[in-house]
Amino acid sequence: GCTQKYIVKNYFYYYLFKFSAALGEEIFYITFLPFIYWNIDHSVSRRMIIIWSIVMYIGQVSKDLLKWPRPLSPPVVKLEMRADAEYGMPSTHAMAATSISFSFLIATMNQYKYPFELGLVAAFVFSTLVCLSRLYTGMHTVLDVIGGALISAVLLVLFYPAWDVIDRLLLTSPFSPLLSIVVPLVLCYNYPKLDYYSPTRGDTTTILGAGAGATVGFWLNNQYAMPAYTSENLQLGFPLITSKIVVVALARFFIGIFVVLLTRRLMKSVVLGLLGYRYKFPIGDLEARRRLEVEVPYKFITYSSVGFSATVLVPLLHELLGLM
């Protein structure tokens, strides 16, 4: 738990890679993925969330099965402490950056007219910056980063042919809401056990919970609001962006983020309060919140509510405010 002292000699690299590291964390997921859903294309957002959930689950589980340690400090200087309790191989930052950037490219290249080379360079630069940030911050070895990026690339290649089939089943099957909740919950409760506490199980539950809530929202929207395969999705189109569209997009974004963050805060308080009453512990008891019977339902319910709010409640609010 001791922070290693260091002196910053190049502030450009320091802030560049600190910022790049944040692109593989919750603050990025909770802003970028909903932004795509609210402002660009529902189908693109759905595919990104599906592949992101699968890739991150496999990456997190792989860490706790392989149990490869992170780089020793010293000689490296670690600029982050929370993730130091996790194992290193593969880098889930590298996996998330690769899956998000290249799934966005693949999902949009046949729907929008833009230079493919430009999209490829943007995806490569984004994923490279995140990968390099893990080396700069001392959290991963080169092998961890390369392994994470390669695993993510292989999973993208494997799942790409089935994207449309999976998407259609999740939107149209009457069993989709039940499976979207039950399967992730089973995976969370049967997460690999470690000899000591690691945030990987909680982070995995957060990701699967958000994906589950969003998937239920996708299904409800398809059933009762906007059928994905009979109506056009909201598409702004990259070449025709105007100042009015930018203002509307920003309004959607800030209103949506406010609702999402409010949902997270409220659900966190309510669920922790109920679990604290059930298992007789104060809400501030960190050790109690790390127990399986508390951590999994607390994070799953909280973040599934966030995913549901982002895909159902926020669009309804946008429509009421005349922002659709």
For 266, other C-beta atoms within 10 Å of its C-beta total: 13
Scanning the chain, the segments in alpha helix (DSSP H) are 11-22, 26-39, 42-66, 92-108, 116-136, 142-159, 163-172, 176-189, 200-224, 243-279, 286-289, 292-308, 314-320
Q: Are 225 and 297 in contact (CB under 8 A)?
A: no
Q: Are 145 and 91 in contact (CB under 8 A)?
A: yes
Closest CA to 180 of 38, 54, 316, 24: 54
Give the active site residue among 93, 134, 264, 299: 93
Q: Are 267 and 301 in contact (CB under 8 A)?
A: yes
3-state SS string for 64-91: HHHCCCCCCCCCCCCCCCHHHHCCCCCC
Spatial separation of the C-alpha atoms in residues 187 and 296, rounded to whole Å:
10
26-39 and 42-66 are packed helices; what angle lies between their axes, rounded to 10 degrees?
A: 160
Give the active site residue among 46, 140, 201, 264: 140
Q: What DSSP designation does 311 have?
A: I
Spatial separation of the C-alpha atoms in residues 127 and 279, rounded to whole Å:
42
Contacts within 8 Å (CB) and 24+ apart, 192-199: 192/61, 192/64, 192/65, 194/64, 196/85, 197/85, 197/290, 198/64, 198/85, 198/86, 198/87, 199/82, 199/83, 199/85, 199/86
Integer-rounded Cα Rg, in Å, for the chain is 20
Give the tokens for residue 22.
Answer: 């944040």
The answer to whether residue 318 is catalytic is no
Catalytic residues: 93, 140
